[in-house]
A = this chain, B = another copy of it.
């Protein structure tokens, strides 16, 4: 049960403004909801469970987010913000050696820092993106196409082997994503209670090396 920011300090002094209260509570609820949605999925998460974890009465959750779906949308829009933000553009001028390395490292770091977000996103896609379809079809597709184009230009410049750009993108996405999604499984398989920093670094090193070599790029 993650405590909300205030809780004890309800005495007359140390008062927060209404605006402040609203923001604090909204964010607190969103944080709790994100965790639960990522652990149990949309249907598996009840408003009551969120309320208990957030130490707030159920009706209060619904005061801030009028429906369960609205709450979920709130979580999703937070996630997409992170996503788009970190999805740095690779440029045709950059050498793929650097651009791909940066991309992989960034993505894996993201999987480490925002595992809930990563997993919600993955679950969303897995079930046909019922809530994200629109956004994926516009924003993400644009990004995807642009990046594939960069790959093609690198290939034209003979900076890398003529690999299938689309499949390279799939491979980059899935294998970096895996470090968040399969954390549970990883723990089972590696017999660790959690992936540590070293594991993430090893993963990044491994992937960078594999991708660069696999694309015929001299890592220098």
Chain A residues with a Cβ under 8 A of chain B: 39-44, 119, 122-123, 125-129, 133, 136-137, 140-141, 144, 163-164, 166-171, 173-175, 177-179, 181-182, 184-186, 188-191, 202-203, 205-207, 209-211, 213-216
Minimal Cβ-Cβ distance residue in B for A203: B167
Residues of B within 8 A of A177 (CB): 174
Inter-chain CA distance A42–B123, complex, in Å, is: 12
Inter-chain CA distance A41–B70, complex, in Å, is: 20
10 A-B pairs with CB atoms under 8 Å apart are A41-B127, A126-B184, A127-B184, A128-B184, A140-B189, A144-B189, A164-B206, A166-B190, A170-B186, A170-B203
Residues of B within 8 A of A141 (CB): 188-189, 191
Contact A202 B164 (CB under 8 A): yes
Copies of this chain, how many? Answer: 2
Which of the residues B127, B207, B213 comes within 8 Å of A40, measured between beta carbons?
A: B127
Contact B123 A171 (CB under 8 A): no
With A170-B182, A174-B177, A175-B175 already in contact, 17 other A-B pairs whose C-beta atoms are closer than 8 Å: A41-B123, A119-B126, A122-B126, A125-B185, A126-B184, A128-B184, A129-B185, A136-B185, A136-B189, A163-B206, A164-B202, A164-B206, A167-B203, A170-B178, A174-B175, A174-B181, A213-B213
- The distance from the CB of A161 to the nearest CB of chain B, in whole angstroms, is 8
- The distance from the CB of A58 to the nearest CB of chain B, in whole angstroms, is 18
Q: Interface centre among A40, A163, A214, by most B CB within 10 Å?
A: A214
Which of the residues B40, B128, B173, B207 comes within 8 Å of A171, measured between beta carbons?
A: B207
- The distance from the CB of A134 to the nearest CB of chain B, in whole angstroms, is 10
Inter-chain CA distance A88–B159, complex, in Å, is: 37
